[in-house]
């Protein structure tokens, strides 16, 4: 009874905070006080333009983060990040398949992160889509502005940092975010991007669904469980291209701060320059470069659905002074109208009833909440966590 009241209060608080954050998002980006940082233009320029300013040897104060956000990085022994051979999941013998399902489960439990090899997407398509994104970032600023979007749920949005309307310091990053499923969108420029993006999105979505089938099985469920429960036929797929230009003071800048992703699985590729780090057992681990592999992380909605059995992984993007990095993160989530809560199958354990550790929330509301606020660790997930039970 007491628990019910508590949950009820949390829901009221949550809806209050959602409406608050939505009204914040509705405001336009507030210009920075120009007298505070004279080197910073009042309109926040793209990081590409800033990074290409002639003679740039230091970064403006507005892009500086204290060293504690950079933290200590551990190197893990070569080969310790889990690797999943996708071809065995799809066309292996029953024995090979069950071994891969087991490995997937272990990777989700121990790391929330794994690399996928033998996925069947041609290297040519991977390089074409990376080139297409480079072409987008190379467009003139005014052309990119056509795709800036006004609202966090607009199907095409391009911009800089993560959410400049709520950030005090900015990330060394430009982005393009496009909804590619269930309805496919694409910017109309540069020429050819739309066709490549459609093909790439479909191929990656197939792989994500294949992996989620294996992950369902690894949780002791039917292979199609997640697909059906979260209506993946109409699942939200978001294409996020990230540009991290060469930075003169990489030790002071941050590409993306520590965060977990919304949704179920994110599949990432990059242009041969590394920068992704994941948190493993409390330490930051360099992922490095792995051409021809997908770097996959589990998202908040897998954590919610599994009632915490598979935790979403914290990760961040570092910048460097060796070359411009482009990454493409493809996020796969439930359908926008799915209400995601812990599956009933996980509310019992060998010890008896297991309380739900998260309240249910519509994926659309979660997405809106996450995108309208600062990107900050697992703060969005914390808002649906039931801490008192």
**Closest-approach residue to Ni ion (CB):** 261
- Interface ranges with ligand OGA (CB under 6 A): 240, 242, 256, 261, 275-276, 315, 317, 327, 329
Q: How far is the CB of 332 from ligand OGA (least distance, A)?
A: 12
Residues in the chain: 389
By CB under 5 A, tell whether 303 contacts Ni ion. no
Of the pair 225, 301, the CB lying nearest ligand OGA is at 301
Enumerate long-range contacts of 61-67, CB under 8 Å, 24 or more apart.
61/37, 62/32, 62/37, 62/168, 62/169, 62/170, 63/169, 63/170, 63/171, 63/172, 63/252, 63/253, 64/169, 64/252, 64/253, 65/169, 65/252, 65/253, 65/254, 65/257, 67/251
Q: How far is the CB of 173 from ligand OGA (least distance, A)?
A: 8
Q: Which does 108 bind (CB under 5 to 8 A by kind): Ni ion, ligand OGA, none?
A: none
Q: How far is the CB of 194 from ligand OGA (least distance, A)?
A: 21
Of the pair 97, 374, the CB lying nearest ligand OGA is at 374
Q: How far is the CB of 261 from Ni ion (least distance, A)?
A: 4
Cα(160)–Cα(45) distance, integer angstroms: 8
Of the pair 101, 204, the CB lying nearest ligand OGA is at 204
Cα(275)–Cα(290) distance, integer angstroms: 12
Of the pair 86, 175, the CB lying nearest ligand OGA is at 175
Of the pair 213, 297, the CB lying nearest ligand OGA is at 297
Contacts of residue 138, Cβ cutoff 8 Å, sequence gap at least 6: 190
Per-residue interface string for the shown chain with Ni ion, residues 254-273, x marking contact by CB under 5 A: -------x------------
Residues of the shown chain interacting with Ni ion in the complex, contacts defined by CB under 5 A: 261
């Amino acid at each position: 009874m007491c628990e019910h009241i508590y949950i009820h209060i949390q829901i009221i608080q949550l809806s209050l905070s959602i409406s608050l954050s939505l009204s914040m998002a509705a405001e336009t980006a507030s210009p920075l006080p120009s007298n505070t940082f004279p080197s910073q233009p009042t309109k926040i320029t793209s990081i590409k333009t800033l990074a290409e300013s002639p003679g740039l040897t230091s970064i403006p104060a507005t892009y500086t983060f204290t060293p504690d956000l950079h933290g200590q990085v551990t190197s893990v022994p070569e080969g310790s990040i889990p690797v999943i051979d996708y071809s065995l999941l799809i066309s292996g013998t029953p024995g090979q398949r069950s071994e891969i399902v087991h490995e997937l489960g272990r990777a989700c439990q121990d790391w929330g992160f794994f690399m996928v090899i033998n996925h069947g997407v041609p290297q040519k398509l991977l390089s074409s889509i990376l080139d297409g994104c480079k072409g987008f970032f190379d467009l003139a600023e005014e052309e990119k502005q056509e795709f800036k979007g006004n609202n966090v749920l607009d199907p095409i949005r391009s911009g800089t940092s993560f959410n400049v309307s709520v950030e005090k310091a900015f990330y060394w990053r430009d982005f393009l975010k496009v909804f590619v499923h269930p309805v496919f969108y694409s910017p109309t420029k540069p020429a050819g991007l739309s066709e490549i993006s459609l093909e790439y999105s479909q191929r990656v979505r197939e792989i994500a669904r294949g992996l989620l089938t294996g992950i369902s099985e690894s949780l002791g469920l039917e292979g199609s469980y997640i697909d059906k429960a979260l209506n993946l036929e109409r699942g939200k797929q978001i294409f996020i291209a990230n540009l991290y230009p060469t930075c003169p003071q990489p030790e002071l800048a941050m590409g993306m701060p520590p965060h977990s992703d919304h949704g179920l699985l994110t599949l990432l590729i990059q242009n041969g320059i590394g920068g992704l780090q994941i948190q493993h057992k409390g330490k930051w681990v360099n992922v490095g470069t792995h051409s021809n592999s997908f770097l996959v992380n589990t998202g908040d909605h897998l954590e919610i659905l599994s009632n915490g059995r598979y935790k979403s992984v914290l990760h961040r993007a570092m910048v460097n002074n060796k070359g411009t990095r482009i990454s493409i993160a493809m996020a796969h989530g439930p359908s926008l109208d799915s209400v995601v809560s812990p599956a009933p199958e996980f509310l019992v354990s060998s010890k008896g009833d297991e309380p739900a550790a998260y309240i249910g929330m519509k994926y659309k509301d979660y997405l809106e909440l996450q995108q309208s606020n600062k990107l900050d660790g697992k703060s969005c997930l914390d808002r649906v966590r039931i801490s008192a039970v």
